[in-house]
Amino acid sequence: MNMIDAATAQAAYRDELVRAGLLIPTGVDGLYGRSGVFEDVVERFDALVTRWGGKDGAEVMRFPPALNRQYFEESEYLKSFPHLAGTIHSFAGDEKAHRTLLRRLEEGQDWTEEQVATDVVMTPAACYPVYPTIAQRGPLPEDGKLIDVFSYCFRHEPSIDPARMQLFRMREYIRIGTPDQVVEFRELWLERGREMMASLEVPLDVDVANDPFFGRAGAMLSNSQREQKLKFELLIPITSTEKPTACLSFNYHQDHFGHLWDIRSADGAVAHTACVGFGMERVALALFRHHGFDPAAWPASVRKLLWG
Ligand code: ATP
Ligand code: ZN
Ligand code: MG
């Protein structure tokens, strides 16, 4: 399938989802409201994730979809993904500046000049607030840490692909500890993720992947990430069978975040980290794609798993 065919298929499927009322368009590509039916599927899948992962005793943390700007700056996100970042700016001028703003708005000119960066930045991945938070607690316990997060995430990647949103939800488990503990966690979830998604009776494949690092230096980072098999994705066809969509991802960061925030294992070594991420909207879209737009008509076995 060439690029034009792919784009046509994506646009057509988005239109279908909108006509069915599952996605509510806002006039911005990648920014959607969702119906009650869609949200019910997201909630049921979230509960399914808890059933598979909740028994491991993760500490639950819930953050708003924004990050302390200082954490964001320390994370080096701007080095790797400047094109995806969403910073929050706000008006901070005086009355004169306000009058200018209103005049520009009225005249249809750029009114954003006076906007200044606030202390918060949109969360790019649900696990980002966790590392600096854990670092502040001091050295890890003997058996490391396991954290459970769920957050809206923002990425500036507008697309007509209904599966590529600018604001979407990510559930994650994050393991922080020794290399052995962290690698074991990722192996466990590679298996579990496959089994869990297979139980939902959708076609799937697991493959090595890379993040979209920016620029020419980024291409090298992507290659080395692939060579070292640091990222895997669980792929399910949504708008294309040739190019299936990443619905879960399994990431081994080695000591990258441990170094940035000086997270230490109980033995004093720099901690390693890994995370498994569940793309909530993508999983819902995959279920709608393979079982139809009406969950009442889904296979009884799948309904039972999700609704009991
Ligand atoms: P892709 O390769 O498709 O861009 P990704 O590698 O950027 O995905 P991760 O950064 O690993 O994805 O994010 C974890 C999960 O969040 C993904 O597996 C996916 O399910 C979901 N996700 C990522 N980007 C988006 C998006 N733009 N819209 C909806 N869900 C997304
Ligand atoms: Zn993560
Ligand atoms: Mg991406």
Residue 197 pLDDT greater than 90, yes or no? yes
Q: How far is the CA of 149 from the centre of ligand 2 (A)?
A: 9
Which residue CA neighbors atom 11 of ligand 1 most closely? 249
- Ligand nearest the Cα of residue 130 is 2
Annotate 226-250 with b (16+ C-beta within 10 A) or e (fewer): eeeebbbbbbbbbbbeeebbbbbbb
Residue 1 pLDDT greater than 70, yes or no? no
Ligand 1 contacts (CB < 6 A) are 125, 155, 157, 164-165, 168, 170, 211, 233, 246-249, 277, 279, 281-282
pLDDT bin (cut points 50, 70, 90) of residue 113 is: confident
Looking at residue 4, its pLDDT comes to 78
Q: pLDDT tens digits for 138-170?
A: 999 999 999 999 999 999 999 999 999 999 999
**Chain centre distance of CA 205:** 19
Strands 231-236 and 245-254: antiparallel
By most ligand atoms within 8 Å of CB, the mutation choice from 49, 149, 160, 170 for ligand 1 is 170
- Ligand nearest the Cα of residue 211 is 1
Residue 116 pLDDT greater than 90, yes or no? yes
Annotate 56-69 with b (16+ C-beta within 10 A) or e (fewer): eebeebebebbbbe
ipTM over 0.95: yes
